[in-house]
Amino acid sequence: MNDETTSAPEMRQAAFFGRRKGKTIRQTQAARMDARLPELSLDLGQPAPAALSDLFGHAPREIRLEIGFGGGEHMIHRALERPDVGFIGVEPFLNGLSKAVSSIERHGLSNIRLYGDDAVKLLDWLPDASLDRVALLYPDPWPKKRHWKRRFVGADNVARFARVLKAGGEFHFASDIDTYVDWTLEHVRANPAFAWTASGPSDWREPWAGWPSTRYEAKARREGRGSAYLTFRRN
């Protein structure tokens, strides 16, 4: 792989997310956030450990990253399903962080760490070849063409995924917006570090094993849209 693919590209100037806060967080939720979020959060002011397993109290077999986890439903489901895996979740939306913290506490999970800012900063902090999977599920599609440059998937971030994923690691992408699916196929397949794993239509029309339907997916179905589930493997 050439140097352009492995080096960290410059950060795009526009943020990849919209608002940071929605409804007012209840006092009990705020108190829980104050008590638990500091111990769950990654400190990017410190160097990343050479082995990301050191971020967790146990020795996880894999480390997976979910970018923009929303309310955390998928991340929590996977963390319960795979206690032997360490999960890092990124969500700049404060209400989503609050929901995730509540769920982590309710289920007594110890295999999740959180980051509440721009995922690009986290990707640039992570060591080379340190992740087994990156998931980007129903990201903001920025549907207007003049806003497409704000889509998280781009040549720069695909190169970041290539740097932090181990050989054989996977990038999972799900969306109900056809233009974003096509956009993602174009940008990821343009990077020689990745191979699209699909061999037939069912490979992108059917979700991954153990997939819990999300509220974004439910909304898409109500509005008559199907979804695509793309898997790309790091060479």
Return the sign of the alpha-carbon dihedral for residues 158, 164, 168, 171: negative
Place of tokens 């700049």: 92
In 20-139 the beta strands, taken as DSSP E runs, fall at 62-67, 85-90, 112-115, 131-137
Which residues fall within 8 angstroms of residue 171, CB to CB, at 6 or more apart?
Answer: 133, 134, 135, 136, 161, 165, 188, 194, 231, 232, 234
The Cα 68–Cα 200 span in angstroms is 28
Which helix (H) or strand (E) element contains residue 186? helix 178-189
Residues designated catalytic: 140
